[in-house]
Amino acid sequence: MFLQWQRSSSVTVGLLVLVWTPLFHSHVCLSKQRCGVIICRYSTVYDPTEKVSLFIRVIKTCKKMGIKTVAVHSDVDSSAVHVKMADEAVCVGPAPTNKSYLNMDAIMNAIKQTGAQAVHPGYGFLSENKEFAKRLAAEGVSFIGPDTHAIQAMGDKIESKLIAKAAKVNTIPGYDGVVKDAEEAVKIAGEIGYPVMIKASAGGGGKGMRIAWNDEETREGFRFSSQEAASSFGDDRLLIEKFIDNPRHIEIQVLADKHGNALWLNERECSIQRRNQKVVEEAPSTFLDPDTRRAMGEQAVSLAKAVKYSSAGTVEFLVDSKKNFYFLEMNTRLQVEHPITECITGLDLVQQMIRIAMGYKLQHKQSDIPINGWAIESRVYAEDPYKSFGLPSIGRLSQYQEPLDLHNVRVDSGIEEGSDISIYYDPMISKLVTYGKTREEALKKMEEALDNYVIRGVTHNIPLLREIIVHPRFVSGDISTKFLPEVYPDGFKGHMLTAGERRELLATAAALYVAAQLRSQKFLGDLRVSVVPAESRQWELCVELDKGLHMLGVSRSGNNYTVEIDGEKVEVSGEWNLASALLPLTINGKHRTLQCLLRTAAGEITLQYLGTSFKLRVLSKLAASLSKHMPEKVPEDTSSILRSPMPGSVVAVSVKPGDNVAEGQEICVIEAMKMQNSMTAAKAAKVKSVHCKAGDTVGEGDLLVELE
């Protein structure tokens, strides 16, 4: 089965609208004023001193500033965390975003209805929509963010480049104009020289970005990008420019007020990406020296000034191996990864944005902006990292526990236990931020935080995150935007166990098994027929892992288990029980936190260890020896059936029963979380049956089409 990415998913969902009280202007009693915040699923402020989750923090900030909040939500989000926390909530429509979070009329009504005086748009959705900003201005409602002119100028890739050039910002060689057809695209690409990058002018981030290495790919890229531009942004203009090979993605946070003052708040290194979407970010970057940092910061500030920018903004650069940097685009919203900047500078960006929107001057001078310590952010997604570094997954968070009891860890999420991760939105679960005095400290903390993060009910990308942050190349700072495909050329396969780690894992499974066996012999209460437990202090077990069989000897005293594997002794101890989601263990003196994801009567134990989940089977020696007689179950032949790789909806079905298809031919297109996924035939064959039609909702693994 082959997948073709026709679209990359949107950055995130979010619309935070807030309205302030006159407290700022005069000391009028708040309760008489109607105020509101409209917020959406994800938005955040970081406060390194307080471990409070995102929305509590946003609303706390607002409360601290005397601002009441109103949350807008779609009907599926009506019980979302932010909705419950806000002072008021307004439903703006059904789940599909164009009927709710993108429905400007409904949002304008909500603003009128609640008497909101300001709107914080969060990320995505309407946060960069100039039309929305205009309508707000017409109603006299403040938009927390830059004004329409800046949004318009920076939202347009072509115009932004022209402005950047004029402001003496380094830009990438490319064609700044509207591309009419595929042949023109090929011609332009030829002039610039391959490789080139093609993307929608109106799109932000990695959305709709395609790289072409030849004419054929240019044509294809043009087709996809223009289609996507039309469907996502209603604006089919494109941009073609030189593709910088092996680049780093480093961005500068800027802050500018309405009085012509601007600051740069250092950089964020966002090179670890998959399909042009950020996965792990850090601040500062290991790569920049003070001179480069200053040069980039100054150019970013001069760009902000050139567009009379006010509010927080991000200027994205591509940096090549020689520290040449090129302007990429400017994001006129508060970005997902902004907390790491807050960590190292101590500034509260949301507070700054609100101040700026109210017309205050910047509080700080450039010389006031420090780099204190190091911050890392991991984007925790509900997706399967074993498929193309992450295909969306959905489900209900049956158990969810953030590692908030750890010091210097922040989790910004908009979900809680019981939340549904639906196919309608971006699959981000949270932003996990760790802070340390040094990079090493922050990375160690990230390991710990990932190990202590309990997410059950949906497939998540913690295995990948956990591997990235300990990879020698990442640890040494040798990264680029191609990190993932270079480090995992055959796709991500999970953590590769060393012999010692393997023993730790086996020993833990054995200890769990023995604990469960012992408990199952403990019956309480008065018993008519006495219980005669099998007396045993020594267990002989056979543990299967990755088809390898291991004979283990286990002895136990209290909560301490001694496991003998191939002549080596492993000591497992710790305070845990069979109901605990986390297993804080001491294994041979080392502290390890594992999670038991599954334990069945038939001896199957699934453990999350070093981020990756491992399936083990623990059997008594007898059961193991008898298992060899058990028949092998024949797995299904997958070349002639096409199953949905992810939950989503069927956009189009291109075949009908009886059709002959070639290998690689498109059979149908599945969309989930705004990402379209073309399903192709794994072999040349005749279509036997089609089990889906356009508009159907399908689950992961559902049968779509059978070939003969």
Partner 1 sequence: MVDISTDYIYQVRLTTHISAVIGSLTHALFTNRVNARGYSVNHPSVQERIEKKRQAALTGGGQLRIAAQHKRGKLTARERLELLLDPDSFVEYDMFVEHRCSDFGMEADHNKYPGDSVVTGQGRINGRLVYVFSQDFTVFGGSLSGAHAQKICKIMDQAMMVGAPVIGLNDSGGARIQEGVESLAGYADIFLRNVMSSGVVPQISLIMGPCAGGAVYSPALTDFTFMVKDTSYLFITGPDVVKSVTNEDVSQEELGGAKTHTTVSGVAHRAFENDVDALLNLRDFFNFLPLSNKDPAPVTECHDPRDRLVPGLDTVVPFESTKAYDMLDIVHGVLDEREFFEIMPNYAKNIVVGFARMNGRTVGIVGNQPKVASGCLDINSSVKGARFVRFCDAFNIPIITFVDVPGFLPGTAQEYGGIIRHGAKLLYAFAEATVPKITVITRKAYGGAYDVMSSKHLRGDVNYAWPSAEVAVMGAKGAVQIIFRGKENQAEAEAEYVEKFANPFPAAVRGFVDDIIQPSTTRKRICRDLEVLASKKQTNPWKKHANIPL
Compute the least distance from the CB of residue 541 to partner 1, in Å.
13
Report which of 488, 504, 519, 598 is spatially closest to residue 552, judged by C-alpha positions.
504
Count of chain residues binding partner 1 (CB under 8 A): 43
DSSP lists the bridge partners of residue 596 as 607
Output the CA–CA distances (angstroms, integers) from residue 201 to 11, 57, 108, 161, 176, in the order listed: 16, 35, 27, 11, 10
* Shorter beta-carbon distance to partner 1: residue 286 or 536: 536
129 binds partner 1 (CB under 8 A): no
Which residue's structure tokens are 């940092």? 293
* Shorter beta-carbon distance to partner 1: residue 84 or 168: 84
- Inter-residue contact 608 to 599 (CB < 8 Å): no
* Residue of the chain from 63, 396, 643, 691 that contacts partner 1 (CB under 8 A): 396
User: CA-CA distance, 129 to 659, in Å (whole number)?
Assistant: 44
Which residue's structure tokens are 């334990």? 599
User: Strands of 196-200's sheet, edge to edge?
Assistant: 174-175, 238-242, 196-200, 210-212
Residues 6+ apart with CB under 8 A from 153: 159, 160, 163, 307
Q: Which stretch binds partner 1 (CB under 8 A): 146-154, 248-256, 595-603, 666-674?
A: 595-603
Compute the least distance from the CB of residue 400 to partner 1, in Å.
8
Dihedral, CA of residue 110, residue 114, residue 116 and residue 120, to nearest 10: -50
Q: Which stretch binds partner 1 (CB under 8 A): 103-111, 116-124, 281-289, 521-529?
A: 521-529
578 binds partner 1 (CB under 8 A): yes
* Residue of the chain from 28, 178, 496, 622 that contacts partner 1 (CB under 8 A): 622
User: CA-CA distance, 550 to 509, in Å (whole number)?
Assistant: 12
Q: Which two tokens stand for residue 567?
A: 């002549």
Compute the least distance from the CB of residue 632 to partner 1, in Å.
9
96 binds partner 1 (CB under 8 A): no
DSSP lists the bridge partners of residue 376 as 282, 434
User: Strands of 648-653's sheet, edge to edge?
Assistant: 3-5, 675-680, 666-672, 648-653, 697-698
635 binds partner 1 (CB under 8 A): no
* Residue of the chain from 601, 635, 636, 637 that contacts partner 1 (CB under 8 A): 601
Residue ranges of alpha helices (H) inside 172-280 are 182-192, 215-233
119 binds partner 1 (CB under 8 A): no
Parallel/antiparallel/unpaired status of strands 675-680 and 582-587: unpaired
DSSP lists the bridge partners of residue 488 as none
* Residue of the chain from 468, 619, 646, 685 that contacts partner 1 (CB under 8 A): 619
125 three-state secondary structure? helix
Q: How many CB atoms lie within 10 A of CB 654?
A: 17
State the binding string over 240-259 for partner 1 (x if CB under 8 A, else -): --------------------
Helix (H) or strand (E) holding 646, with range, is none
580 binds partner 1 (CB under 8 A): yes
Q: Which letter, b or e, does each residue of 442-452 get, where b requires 16 or more Cβ atoms within 10 Å of its Cβ? A: bbebbbbbbbb
* Shorter beta-carbon distance to partner 1: residue 75 or 368: 75
* Residue of the chain from 29, 138, 499, 602 that contacts partner 1 (CB under 8 A): 602
User: CA-CA distance, 466 to 455, in Å (whole number)?
Assistant: 14
324 binds partner 1 (CB under 8 A): no
* Residue of the chain from 27, 522, 547, 590 that contacts partner 1 (CB under 8 A): 522
* Shorter beta-carbon distance to partner 1: residue 83 or 263: 83
User: CA-CA distance, 671 to 504, in Å (whole number)?
Assistant: 41
* Shorter beta-carbon distance to partner 1: residue 499 or 579: 579
If phi > 0 it is left, if psi is from -120 to 50 it is alpha, else beta; for residue 674 that is left
475 binds partner 1 (CB under 8 A): no
- Does the annotation mark 7 as catalytic? no
525 binds partner 1 (CB under 8 A): yes
Q: Which two tokens stand for residue 404?
A: 């908030």
328 binds partner 1 (CB under 8 A): no
Q: Which stretch binds partner 1 (CB under 8 A): 397-405, 425-433, 463-471, 587-595?
A: 397-405
Please, which of residues 58-77 interact with partner 1 by CB under 8 A?
75
Q: Which stretch binds partner 1 (CB under 8 A): 219-227, 575-583, 636-644, 682-690?
A: 575-583
Cis check: omega of the bond before 645, within 30 degrees of 0 = no
Which residue's structure tokens are 């023109």? 184
Q: Which stretch binds partner 1 (CB under 8 A): 23-31, 243-251, 628-636, 660-668?
A: 628-636
Count of CA atoms in the C-beta half-sphere (13 A) of 275: 21
Please, which of residues 399-438 interact with partner 1 by CB under 8 A?
399-400, 416-419
Q: Which of 135, 237, 333, 410 is catalytic?
A: 333
528 binds partner 1 (CB under 8 A): yes
631 binds partner 1 (CB under 8 A): yes
* Shorter beta-carbon distance to partner 1: residue 76 or 211: 76
Opening angle at CA 234, ends 232 and 240, nearest 5:
80
Compute the least distance from the CB of residue 420 to partner 1, in Å.
8
User: CA-CA distance, 379 to 382, in Å (whole number)?
Assistant: 10
Please, which of residues 530-549 interact with partner 1 by CB under 8 A?
531-534, 536
Compute the least distance from the CB of residue 630 to partner 1, in Å.
4
558 binds partner 1 (CB under 8 A): no
Q: At what angle do helices 148-155 and 157-166 cross, to 10 degrees?
A: 100
Compute the least distance from the CB of residue 697 to partner 1, in Å.
12
Looking at this protein, which amino acid is placed at residue 629?
H
* Shorter beta-carbon distance to partner 1: residue 618 or 685: 618
* Residue of the chain from 633, 635, 636, 637 that contacts partner 1 (CB under 8 A): 633
Compute the least distance from the CB of residue 55 to partner 1, in Å.
15
79 binds partner 1 (CB under 8 A): yes
630 binds partner 1 (CB under 8 A): yes
Compute the least distance from the CB of residue 306 to partner 1, in Å.
47
Interacting residues with partner 1 (CB under 8 A): 75, 78-79, 396-400, 416-419, 519-525, 527-529, 531-534, 536, 577-580, 601-603, 619, 622-623, 626-627, 629-631, 633
> Mind telling me the catalytic residues?
333
